[in-house]
Amino acid sequence: SPVAPPFRHRPRTHTTMHVHPLTLIVASAVVLVLVPALAAPSRLPLCPKCEEVRGASKACKGASGEDKIICDVLVSVCSFFECPINEVADHLPASDHDGDKFSTDFGLRGYAWRGKDCDDHAPEIYPGRRSVPRGTDAAADYNCNGISGRNASGTYEELFCGDKFAPQGLILLSDSTGAHFDVPLRPAHLPEWPKMLDTELDWPECSWATAWEDDVKRCDGPYILGHVDSIYKRLVERNRCNLRDYQNIAVNGMRSGPMAAELVNTTARHKETDAPALVLLAEVANDVCNPHPGTSHMTEPAAYKTNMLSILDQLDAMLPPNSNVVFFGYLHGEAYYQAMKDKPYPFAGITYLEAWEFVNNQTVGAKHGDARTLNPCYGWLNPNATLRAFTSARARALEAVYKDIIATKHYASFDMYYFDLPDEDIIASWAAKGGNVADLVSQVGGVHPSLVGSTLWADAIWTILETNIPHVLGPVNPHNAAITAMFGDQGGHGDGR
């Protein structure tokens, strides 16, 4: 069998790069099979070697420890492609009995990604609802924020969440940095790998934008900061009426084209019945960052503008009035390159630069006319300074598109704002404090923010919003203490992973 040899036991000391070869196989499979496929549903094949992997699973029966875990993960990757793939590819909850795009399940685009439904058999009851559904008691919890009941003066929803303290939602449109992609290779996480397929190898409950998880040890790590932070968490702290009104509409490998064509319409928002929303549009990488050699797969500014205008037109049709859209710029790839190139790679006894050069020289897909390296960001994680400079220049050109749109377009449902991504400042500040920059990024897959990085992103982005456009965050609700005293955790968010 052509797949059987990788499953034979090989002592770690016999591996040239001093890292278990199966780990490299799994990491490559993640980057090259699962992540790109989920970003482009129209190209969703079965795992190309599923039958061979299943055949090799007999070898897994004789494996133990780390070998057994990683063997099981490989088989699980293939099995994942045979689950209800349409639901996964559509980026909608696989379990949604009433069709309102919210779920009572955690994985498969459930409440890991969107507020947990409080009645999955009533399509008019869901997180973010503002108007009382017809035929529903106004004192019921029809928007799933955990506030219900009444006193002599009216409903508690009206008392605590009325007028200027009315709730608003948070919607993220993003890529793997917003979905919080990470494949942690720490031993404690290895048994969790098969479960991670339920969330597409992402941790949205720990994302800089939509994290709601309070237990840091239920996130991916590292745990240096000791807490989880997000824009959503801070919005809830500011106004407890906002509970559960979050949507993480982010997909690994997402680019502006598929976002416009396929992703935006998975957002659950109704102009006539729902609360306004703060939309964070953070497409920060893939229109310039991809595994293909050269520059031909980078998006041109004209095409990018067309895609963005399509996205905004769709948002204008669905968002309630008084919403806001905030664009964030691209990663500062050169800063990551310079800060990390000479640092030791965590597993292989080599530097990051040597690791990047290694994956740059591994090419797949040539037979199918889609040759790509194993490097998820060939343009920036590359010793070629000219290519890095071109990639950075293209990123700045795409950012200019946002500024042009803000200056020339107007939408009825929302105002628009633009800010540079604060990642470069975060890198500099972390390094100045003596921190290891490698702790800011995930262990596999380029420079996705780790839990540390994501938490720092949340703090920096919140500071940007609060300093420059505080009105988009809404006022602090003076009834927060009363809400907590009466309703406790308001039903919480769910059990998590």
Q: Pull the structure tokens for residue 52.
A: 């061979």
Torsion from C-alpha of 128, 133, 137, 142, nearest 10 degrees: -20
- Which amino acid is residue 159, in one-letter code? L
Per DSSP bridges, beta strands 277-282 and 246-250 are: unpaired
- Which amino acid is residue 222, in one-letter code? P
What letter would DSSP give residue 260? I
Whole-number Å distance between alpha carbons of 194 and 34: 13
Whole-number Å distance between alpha carbons of 75 and 60: 10
Which residue reads 């993960």 in tokens?
Answer: 73
What letter would DSSP give residue 102? -
Of 240, 182, 244, 239, nearest to 210 by C-alpha is: 244
> What residues act catalytically?
176
What letter would DSSP give residue 171? E
The full DSSP string for 396-440 is HHHHHHHHHHHHH---SSEEEEEE--THHHHHHHHHHTT--GGGG
Which residue reads 């001093």 in tokens?
Answer: 18
Q: Pull the structure tokens for residue 300.
A: 């041109």
**Rounded to an integer, what is the distance from CA 294 to the centroid of its chain?**
26
Answer for the pair 142, 129: CB distance below 8 angstroms, yes or no: yes
